[in-house]
């Protein structure tokens, strides 16, 4: 997987194992250790990929409590951004309340691949509302692959055009199934938006998210950056 990512031009990868309450619950410490071990191995094998720890947390009522307790890992372990995914079908009733509570803890939620959520496809206004309140949206690059995810490619393009996507990521799961690839889909995203914006979504903004500066969203929906915390 690491070799595939490097060949695709990826230099830094945030490893985000699933955290699903009651099913997969790797502790923050376990993820930190596993990512550290894997990074050592990449160095040993001369694979130039920087790994950072994170989690992809399933939406649920316990998310704010788990975050408060330190059980969840923010992206890059920086304390500022939490990657949260929605179930494939229905939107849980708690969704907006949980996002609000996460934000009230000083953490910005990043919604993972909402374009693949049937609930969001049926109610895109909900996503617009969530973004307006300060959440970021991360789209899977391969959502733009026509025919692979049903009608998702068309919906993903619509969200891109509407300015409801801030980040494009690989959602890599293995070297064969859902490999960590972005570049095959970036040109399509660039045709829908612009090459400059896609560069920002795949490089500039992710680098700032795991870097020292906070990312802010202006009222007009544009992305800005505030000074690093001292
Ligand atoms: Fe996911």
The CA 84 to ligand 1 mean position distance, Å, reads 8
Q: Which pLDDT score is estimated for 25?
A: 94
User: Across the beta sheet with 18-19, what order do the strands follow?
Assistant: 18-19, 56-58, 81-85, 108-112, 136-140, 167-169
**What digits encode the pLDDT tens for the residues 40-89?**
999 999 999 999 999 999 999 999 999 999 999 999 999 999 999 999 88
The CA 214 to ligand 1 mean position distance, Å, reads 24
C-alpha to C-alpha distances, 153 to 17, 26, 55, 167, 196, nearest whole angstrom: 25, 32, 25, 16, 21
Q: Is the pLDDT of residue 163 over 50?
A: yes
- Domains, the chain, ranges and CATH? 56-225 (3.20.20.140)
The arithmetic mean of pLDDT across residues 118-139, rounded, is 95
Q: Is the pLDDT of residue 131 over 80?
A: yes
Q: Let me know: does 181 contact 170? Beta carbons within 8 Å.
A: yes
Burial grade of 147 (CB within 10 A; 0-12, 13-18, 19 or more): exposed
The CA 227 to ligand 1 mean position distance, Å, reads 31
The CA 13 to ligand 1 mean position distance, Å, reads 15
Q: Which pLDDT score is estimated for 175?
A: 87
**What digits encode the pLDDT tens for the residues 166-205?**
999 999 999 888 899 999 999 999 999 999 999 999 999 9
The arithmetic mean of pLDDT across residues 208-224, rounded, is 59
Q: Is the pLDDT of residue 221 over 50?
A: no
In this structure, is the dihedral angle defined by the CA atoms of residues 190, 181, 172 and 52, taken in order, positive or negative? Answer: negative
Q: Residue 206: which pLDDT band, with cuts at 50, 70 and 90? A: very high
Q: Residue 95: which pLDDT band, with cuts at 50, 70 and 90? A: very high
Q: Is the pLDDT of residue 1 over 70?
A: yes
Q: Which pLDDT score is estimated for 216?
A: 54
Lowest average pLDDT, out of 13-27, 114-128, 180-194, 199-213, goes to 199-213
The CA 112 to ligand 1 mean position distance, Å, reads 6
The CA 16 to ligand 1 mean position distance, Å, reads 9
Q: Which pLDDT score is estimated for 104?
A: 96
């Amino acid at each position: 997987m690491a070799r595939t990512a490097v060949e695709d031009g990826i230099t830094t990868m945030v490893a985000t194992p699933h955290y699903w309450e009651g099913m997969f619950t790797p502790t923050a410490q376990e993820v930190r250790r596993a990512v550290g071990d894997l990074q050592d191995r990449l160095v040993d094998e001369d694979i130039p990929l920087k790994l950072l720890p994170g989690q992809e947390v399933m939406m649920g009522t316990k998310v704010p409590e788990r975050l408060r307790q330190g059980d969840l890992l923010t992206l890059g372990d920086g304390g500022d951004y939490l990657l949260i995914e929605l179930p494939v079908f229905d939107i849980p009733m708690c969704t907006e309340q949980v996002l609000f509570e996460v934000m009230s803890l000083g953490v910005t939620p990043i919604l993972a691949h909402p374009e693949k959520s049937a609930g969001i496809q049926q109610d895109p206004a909900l996503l617009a509302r969530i973004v307006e309140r300060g959440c970021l949206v991360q789209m899977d690059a391969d959502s733009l692959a026509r025919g692979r995810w049903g009608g998702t490619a068309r919906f993903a393009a619509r969200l891109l055009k509407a300015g409801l996507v801030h980040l494009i990521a690989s959602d890599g799961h293995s070297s064969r199934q859902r490999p960590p690839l972005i570049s095959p889909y970036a040109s399509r995203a660039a045709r829908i938006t612009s090459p400059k914006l896609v560069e920002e979504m795949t490089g500039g903004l992710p680098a700032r998210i795991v870097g020292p500066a906070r990312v802010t969203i202006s009222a007009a929906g544009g992305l800005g950056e505030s000074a690093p915390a001292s």
